[in-house]
Chains A and B, each alone.
Chain A
């Protein structure tokens, strides 16, 4: 079983374990669990072992590196030089990037050992990980359920103890929602906090990269490695990067937490109960709870699906079968247009899955002449109103708290045929992307009281499913989010790993 960053670092520093030991344990766990979880698209065992041995060879160089010898999994939409990067799409099934994403370079500079690329929804579009061209990821707490999406493989890998930390990307909740549904911590940093160079673009005004881990401390350490400006990403911010671990004081007596009560009506009863109980814990620690009003929050999900699909349709125009990725081979007799445009259209029809096509279609429509003002421009104006709600709230409070997901993990297949039902899973997460604000999801309990799922997940049980508390903060104030989440974590003893062993298939 994989430990936390702190445990791995302590073991390596004290000489109890080598980086190679830690790495081979992680690889063995992945080999055992991946057939049932489908969390990894690619595992780079040889490369990882070589890297771990390199770190073992030069302990002086790596002594103070924050992630030296720590196994890390990367969502498969982060480019890795020489390692295939698929975005879980047929379009990029054999794509080998000629460069590393900035976050990959920063992780390696900090000593991380990259073990593989995690499964996700195709081009990070979805809420359940069912849109992967390589099959759904399964939730380690209940194998018949979704892990959430789109960073479902990263969340499942961390939850199952395959790696202490994984990176995800979050366009509408894709780090936080799977973190909540898999019982781990997930942070979407402020827009601009982390460079997106080398992230396969979904919606450029919304996308951010962030860490998933089992403890708030590990998320803080990893954010410190990732954050900071990058000349290769003009949207990365020059804001100073504080020592995030120094913020973890356990003291929340000065904190005012805003609770948008009106927004929480009609959510799952167990999610509501767990959220209230978590807020009560924070109140007992000295935080003040304040009711806040976010009058435009109920427009956030439809606004998100107008804005994000418009941006996606534009971003995904690059997949044309010319420079890299898949090209349709069919030049057969039934093909109407055997020229360039016909090749484009066939390549895209065969290379993209249903949800990606649906979003490209919707985005193309809302940007098209005659409809642009009514849909896209209208949504952008509504986005301003949603942003202003938060600006106003942050005049009174330091953070806004709400559940991460309105329900615990649903069963695989339960919502897949109804796009609107699927999109409603994002109601609490999309606002942070539309407003660019940082947001964290921290485990706050389980369904069915204190019960936990049966070994490997019981298909008939509704109990034992993780629930996440979400905190949204001021722009570039990740430190306060981490401080509150850590203080809460100190008061809880939720099981941090699913019942083992996960059955091999």
Chain B
């Protein structure tokens, strides 16, 4: 387990998370993520052999419902909060995707 992080490692995580961090943030997070994981290292000492992971505590009460069409948010209303939308065409607008 890494006790600390290099700048390159932090930059790689930031790229996965789509976060454009500046140099000061990279240095700060390299230190702090290391400290947090060092604190969490205690979990590694636990014997969890044969223990099932818990991803949700809903237990058995998750229920199915009929797949019926319900009223939904109007398209113009859905577009109204967009930073850039072509309302007449009914599209969200984004910067170019391909070179």
Contacts and interface: CB of A to CB of B under 8 A. Distances in A.
Interface stretch (A14-22, A104-112, A257-265, A298-306): A298-306
Nearest to A383: B54
A343 to B, nearest CB: 5
A435 B65 CA distance: 26
Contact of B62 (A235, A343, A352, A382): A235
A384 B48 CA distance: 9
Contacts of A323: 78, 81-82, 92
A343 B25 CA distance: 19
A363 to B, nearest CB: 8
A380 interface: yes
Interface string A46-86: 00000000000000000000000000000000000000000
A362 B55 CA distance: 18
Interface string B18-58: 11111001001100110111011111101010011111111
Contact of B97 (A229, A340, A358): A340
Interface in A358-373: 358, 360-362, 364-365, 368
B-side interface mostly: loop
Given A98-B81, A299-B42, A192 B96 contact: no
A289 interface: no
Contacts of B55: 205, 380
B89 interface: no
Interface size class of B (residues with CB under 8 A): 35 or more
A229 B20 contact: no
Chain A at the B interface: SS class: helix
Interface residues of A, number: 73
Contacts of A96: 80-81
B99 to A, nearest CB: 8
Contact of B94 (A239, A343, A385, A475): A343
Contacts of B40: 302-303, 305-306, 375
A381 B18 contact: no
A365 B18 contact: no
A385 B46 contact: yes
A338 interface: yes
A156 interface: no
Contact of A321 (B53, B54, B83): B83
Contacts of A97: 81
Contact of A322 (B20, B54, B74, B82): B82
Contact of B65 (A205, A231, A331, A361): A231
Contacts of B43: 299, 302-303, 306, 378-379, 382
Contacts, number: 176
B55 to A, nearest CB: 6
Contacts of A490: none
B75 to A, nearest CB: 11
Contacts of B53: 377, 380-381, 383-384
A340 B97 CA distance: 5
Interface of B: 1, 10, 13-22, 25, 28-29, 32-33, 35-37, 39-44, 46, 48, 51-59, 61-63, 65, 73-74, 77-78, 80-84, 92, 94-99
Interface of A: 95-99, 191-192, 205, 229, 231, 234-235, 237-239, 296, 298-299, 302-303, 305-306, 313, 317, 320-327, 331, 338-346, 348-349, 352, 354, 357-358, 360-362, 364-365, 368, 374-375, 377-385, 387, 419-420, 423, 434-436, 475
9 nearest A-B residue pairs (beta carbon): A436-B57, A380-B53, A327-B83, A324-B81, A381-B48, A302-B40, A345-B20, A349-B20, A237-B61
Given A326-B83, A361-B33, 15 more contacts: A96-B80, A205-B57, A305-B40, A321-B83, A322-B83, A322-B92, A327-B84, A340-B97, A352-B19, A362-B37, A368-B16, A380-B55, A382-B43, A420-B36, A423-B36
25 contacts: A235-B56, A238-B63, A302-B41, A306-B43, A321-B83, A322-B92, A322-B94, A323-B78, A323-B81, A324-B81, A324-B83, A327-B83, A343-B94, A345-B19, A348-B18, A349-B19, A361-B10, A361-B19, A362-B36, A374-B1, A375-B37, A381-B48, A381-B53, A419-B35, A475-B59
